[in-house]
Structure 1
């Protein structure tokens, strides 16, 4: 009879990222929010590419299902900022643009361009055309002569020459862009779409954020408060930083860690009719004064005023200044 050696097996070691998936996914009673420190560590591992693809997908979708807490958003943001290699550049407004527009043209682009003409330094950033049927900022930069920058040196040059620059997320945080690009693989947007709005990579004086889903604006405001940032969060048209003049706008602000709220009334007594098609040439026509249309006029004036409110102007003064900026703009493109 032959002696058969016993089969020896070792229990495989648990992956270092597994505890973070477990925190979020351990059932209705066992799951919980991550602490700020846990969120910072988890996002750090993701950014350092120490996570398996299966873990990443599970983590993002569990977060999406649970919805992020202010502490988690703050921790994620700190992890990203710790890994940025951006130079110290002076910026007034951080303007994230990640949603795309489908009901109205992106009038916010004209608002940002007008502000830049009047000495307000604006950094815009976005995540590309990730959802069919929407019009994205990146697709209109050439049309409106807004500089597209692929590195921080180009951003510095554009800000010095034009007071405005657009830098794709993939060029300054490629790991985050990869996660945004998983949208069509996972079938849902991940929390990275909202995280990108809070990052303010150059530490601008004010970060403008648009969060479309009701109740989520205060979460972003609270996260910015935890970070000590100055920010204004709105439910912008289509998810972009653009005031809808047909509805009441609630501003969720935070200054030096202190939250504040402000409500702006609708600017039009009646709702405007949604355009049948989105023709980007209308942007050029409005800018040059060749086209007259009340909706874009009201939308961009109030969006300019929003940015000025973020820089400390009271509402009434911000609207007066916005009107002057728009009236005195250089109409050439």
Structure 2
């Protein structure tokens, strides 16, 4: 190869490398826009691109990071934990890029001959100022983003609780270009202030409303979970006190019988220590439904974590009503009736795991909420988790619909799809109340193939969460045997 050809090769390689570097910078600036706007179209508009071009850049980012980076929700894009971890770094890069591109060149230093001018150039005697305009992102008298950030930074960690909470509210709620998600420590501090009763009443609804509208991040909800656990004095996970954590925060609109309680009894009879915790709304006439059902089923009702710890050692199963072991959280969730919306706390409460169970069994019907719940669990260090994807707010299997099952197995994501089974004919009415019929199915006084299948498949879900089985069909066989050999006594 000649010297000229070799030089061309080297120059071409250097050119490709520069293009690659430029392309990477472009990707990072696109990522910054997506993190700021939480929308492909708005991010594209903010940097002067077409939405299709921004979508291609997002696809390249996903390939480069081997992560979806953003999940679609009803409120726009929600960053994944990886994207959240990059937010501050890419924002700093984008800000520095903007500053460098806005720098003014130095005057002087060139001669007329060097510049090719005819010699008539000179410094102007007068110079008009730039066209006077108001920055479109600001209102009259509004501080710039950097001024606003500096003001918030003045509120230190030793500030009064209501001032620290105000800082968190301003951090998430001041609009595009200035707001950002809370980090885990900020979210934990904000909720801890509220749970301690140190927040002004006006402050409580503000962060919840903003986060609901924008869509909470996994990092924020993980901070809320940590605050809740600290508030109630939760036992460290995998401490050996409990085997299975089973949250059941039911909507008062749910009118079906709590068949999952029968499944929990079967798991306990198999020798596993099961903790149920939850509530059934606050204003419903049936608000004590779970306490009534647990009492009828012989499941001890405990009013504190200390009492539940002792009960697990003797009975192997316990139910903790939220109103008893965490009244402040119970009342906070009760704000639903004042705002008619589910708050981010509704996602957090399912992962509180008050007795430190080594595995958790959840029911989450919304597709985006399933992945959010698992991301939160991973941030919390949860190793064993099963999420049933066709029930909301409590884990009860629905065998007559295809069921997606989202799992963490040893801390790693592992999913499966359980196909639907053929539904048997509905049983004729017996004249019994819903509660009486629920009890009769357990004792054998009533036979109901539909209800029995729900109980057996729910039990199987608990067994795979405890890793007694990795195969769902095999878990169902074990659950069927447990059902056949159950103690038929009701309290």
TM-score, structure 2 normalization: 0.61
Instruction: Give, in whole Å, the separation in 2 of the partners of 1:76 and 1:251.
Output: 25
Superposition deviation, residue 148 in structure 1: 0.8
Task: Summarize the Cα distance change of 1:134–1:244 in structure 2 as closer, same or farther, 3 Å threshold.
Answer: farther
C-alpha contact 1:40 1:79 (8 A) present in aligned 2: yes
State whether residues 164 and 190 of structure 2, in contact with CA within 8 Å, keep that contact through their aligned partners in structure 1.
Answer: no
SS in 2 for 1:195: helix
Asked if structure 2 preserves the Cα contact closer than 8 Å seen for 1:228 and 1:257, the reply is yes
Instruction: Give the one of 280, 288, 306 matched to 1:153.
Output: 306
The residue number in structure 2 matching 1:118 is: 270
Q: CA deviation at 1:329?
A: 0.3
2:427–2:448 contact (8 Å) kept in structure 1: no
My pick for the range that moved more, 135-144 or 110-119, is 135-144
Q: Which has the higher helix share?
A: 2
8 Å contact from structure 1 (residues 234, 241) kept in 2: yes
More off after superposition, 270-279 vs 281-290: 270-279
- 2:362, 2:386 within 8 Å by CA — same for their partners in 1? yes
Normalising by the residue count of structure 1, what TM-score does the alignment of the two structures yield? 0.87
Matched, 1:167 2:320: yes
How far apart, in 1, do the equivalents of 2:277 and 2:412 lie? 26
Partner residue of 1:105?
Answer: 257
How far is 1:270 from its partner? 7.1
1:95 corresponds to 2:246: yes
| TM-fit CA distance, 1:166 | 0.6
Cα distance, 1:65 vs structure 2? 1.9
Structure 1 position 128, deviation (Å): 4.0
Structure 2 residue ranges without an equivalent (≥5): 1-154, 156-161
Secondary structure, aligned partner of 1:71: helix
Partner residue in 1 for 2:211? 63
1:17 CA displacement: 1.0
Q: Which one of the candidate residues 419, 428, 437 is aligned to 1:265?
A: 419
1:18 aligns with 2:166: yes
Residue 53 of structure 1: how far off its partner (Å): 1.3
Instruction: Check 1:103–1:152 CA distance in 2 against 1; reply closer, same or farther (3 A cut).
Output: closer
Tell me by how many angstroms 1:103 deviates.
4.6
Structure of larger gyration radius? 2
Give the direction of change, closer, same or farther, for the CA distance of 1:134–1:150 in structure 2 (3 Å limit). closer
Q: Is the 8 A contact 1:107 1:300 kept in 2?
A: yes
| SS of residue paired to 1:261 | strand
SS in 2 for 1:97: strand
C-alpha spacing 1:192/1:273, structure 2 compared with 1 (3 Å):
farther
Q: Classify 1:82/1:331 alpha carbon distance in 2 versus 1 (closer, same or farther; 3 Å).
A: same
Residues 119-145 of structure 1: CA deviation (Å, up to 9, x unaligned)? 111111113433648774223222222
- 1:327 equivalenced with 2:480 (yes/no): no
Equivalences for 1:25-64 in 2 at 5 Å? 25-64=173-212
Equivalent pair of 2:172/2:210 in contact (CA under 8 Å): yes
Task: Decide whether the 8 Å contact of 2:279 with 2:323 is kept in 1.
Answer: yes
- Cα distance in 2, alignment partners of residues 236 and 176 from structure 1: 26
Deviation, 1:90, is 1.4
Give the superposition deviation at 1:322: 0.6
Match of 1:195 in 2: 348
Contact 1:102 1:133 (8 Å CA) reproduced? no
| Superposition pairs of residues 221-232 of structure 1, within 5 angstroms | 221-229=374-382, 230-232=384-386
Cα distance in structure 2, aligned partners of 1:332 and 1:270: 27
Matched, 1:181 2:329: no
- CA apart distance, 1:41: 2.0
CA contact 2:389–2:406 (8 Å) conserved in 1? no
Q: Distance in 2 between matches of 1:21 and 1:125?
A: 30
2:466 is the alignment partner of 1:311: yes
Q: Deviations over 1:177-210 (max 9, x none)?
A: 1211212222223222221101112221111111
CA drift at 1:47: 2.3
Deviation at 1:278, TM superposition (A): 6.8
Shift of 1:57: 1.0
**Aligned mates of 2:297, 2:285 — CA distance in 1:** 21
**Is the CA contact (8 Å cut-off) linking 2:247 and 2:276 kept in structure 1?**
yes
Asked if the contact 1:104/1:278 (under 8 Å) is kept, the reply is: no
- Tell me if the contact between 1:93 and 1:208 (Cα under 8 Å) persists in the aligned partners: yes
Mean CA deviation greater in 293-302 or 249-258? 249-258
Aligned length in residues: 321
Q: Which moved more, 1:279-288 or 1:43-52?
A: 43-52
Measure how far apart 1:220 and its partner are. 0.1
CA deviations 1:13-62 (Å, max 9, x no partner) are: 98221121122222245443222222122222222222111111111222
Q: Which protein, 1 or 2, shows the higher relative CO under an 8 Å CA cutoff with sep ≥ 6? A: 1
RMSD over aligned CA atoms reads 2.6
Deviation at 1:236, TM superposition (A): 4.2
